[in-house]
Amino acid sequence: MTPALFESNIKSLPFLHRGKVRDLYAVGEDKLLVIQTDRLSAFDVVLPTPVPGKGRVLTALSQFWFDKLAPLIPHHLTGIDPASVVAPEERPQVQGRAFVVRRLEPLPIEAVVRGYLAGSGWKDYRSTGRVCGIPLPAGLQEADKLPEPLFTPATKAPAGAHDENISFDEMARRVGRERAEQVRAVALRLYTEAARYAETRGIIIADTKFEFGVDLAGKLYLIDEVLTPDSSRFWPRDQYRPGASPPSFDKQFVRDWLEAQPWDKKAPAPALPPDVLAKTEEKYQEALRRLTG
């Protein structure tokens, strides 16, 4: 079994940034090498225990969705083999877990789309009757399908800080109203298309987040990762029942375990025990198998 990659160590390219999951290196002036490590974050804290193979699952699933959704919006992938931009001895670090992408200016928001009442949306609804300020009908249950998908933007927090939901007007203030309306329309289209396909593969996409970037001409691109267990809530369709949160093919299993621990959700996080780690790895692999066949 290939050992887990917690951090990459590429010396042949200039190092730029280490995020919660991805490590970034410069490839010339206009491209980036993005390595999906096996790090796992929960509650915006990077856990000390990597999930073996997780980065490869994120890479394969993102590649699948970038290709499938390309008719709706261009993406940042260049098609350049990551092994061709690093030294020969560094190739094992990028094998199956990296992209060479266009260097774009990321928008400073996360484009969250919710199709079902779950997670923080459910908590919000129970206390206010709304989700991120958007009013909903009374009497909805946990995991109910929403009357229509909701676009609920959030801030992008650095590692160790928490993302915060913001209103559409606040998003428009940060990125401009025309850009905000464009992102909202594209995100809802992407979610609707992906959710329709996933249903045919036995998976409900309860919610997800997209990230976007722009080039020097202001053209919008889909960037980062797309519709992975890290960025989405995947439910098995055959186990879906409104009224309770279904089991999921994502890191909700880890979140649930962490919620039961005496932990204040600040770094350092507790290490995952072997059984939780194995179950998480299994769920990620199952999501990949179901969605891509």
Same domain? For 157 and 171 the reply is yes
Whether 289 maps to a domain, the answer reads no
Question: Do 122 and 209 belong together in one domain?
Answer: yes
Q: For residues 61 and 128, state if they share a domain.
A: no
- How far apart (Å, rounded) are the C-alpha atoms in residues 265 and 196? 35
User: Among 86, 103, 120, which residue terminates a domain?
Assistant: 103
Average pLDDT over residues 2-30: 96
End-of-domain residue from the set 103, 124, 153: 103
Query: Is pLDDT of 70 > 60?
Result: yes
Residue 112 shares a structural domain with residue 248: yes
Residue-wise pLDDT tens digits, 219-256: 999 999 999 999 999 999 999 999 998 988 888 889 88
In a domain, 146, yes or no: yes
Question: Pairing relation of β-strands 105-106 and 98-102?
Answer: unpaired
Mean pLDDT (whole number) for 248-273: 91
In a domain, 111, yes or no: yes
Looking at the structure, tell me whether residues 126 and 201 fall in a common domain. Answer: yes
Establish if 266 belongs to a structural domain.
Answer: no
Q: How far apart are CA 266 and CA 226, in angstroms?
A: 27
Q: Which pLDDT tens digit goes with each residue over 153-173? A: 999 866 556 678 999 999 999
Q: Which of 196, 187, 192, 198 is nearest to 151 (CA)?
A: 187
CATH number for position 40: 3.30.200.20
Looking at residue 98, what is its pLDDT? 98
> CB of 26 within 8 A of CB of 254?
no
Same domain, 130 and 238: yes
Task: Tell whether 68 and 193 lie within a shared domain.
Answer: no
In a domain, 258, yes or no: no
Q: Is residue 65 domain-shared with residue 168, that is, in the same domain?
A: no
Domain boundary among 49, 72, 103: 103
- pTM of the prediction? 0.94
User: Which are the contacts of 257, defined by CB distance < 8 A and separation ≥ 6?
Assistant: 272, 276
pLDDT of residue 44: 85
Mean pLDDT in residue range 141-148: 97
The domain containing residue 67 runs over which residues?
A: 15-103
What's the confidence (pLDDT) of residue 137? 97
Asked if 90 and 110 sit in the same domain, the reply is no
Domain harbouring 180, CATH code = 3.30.470.20
Is 118 a domain residue? yes
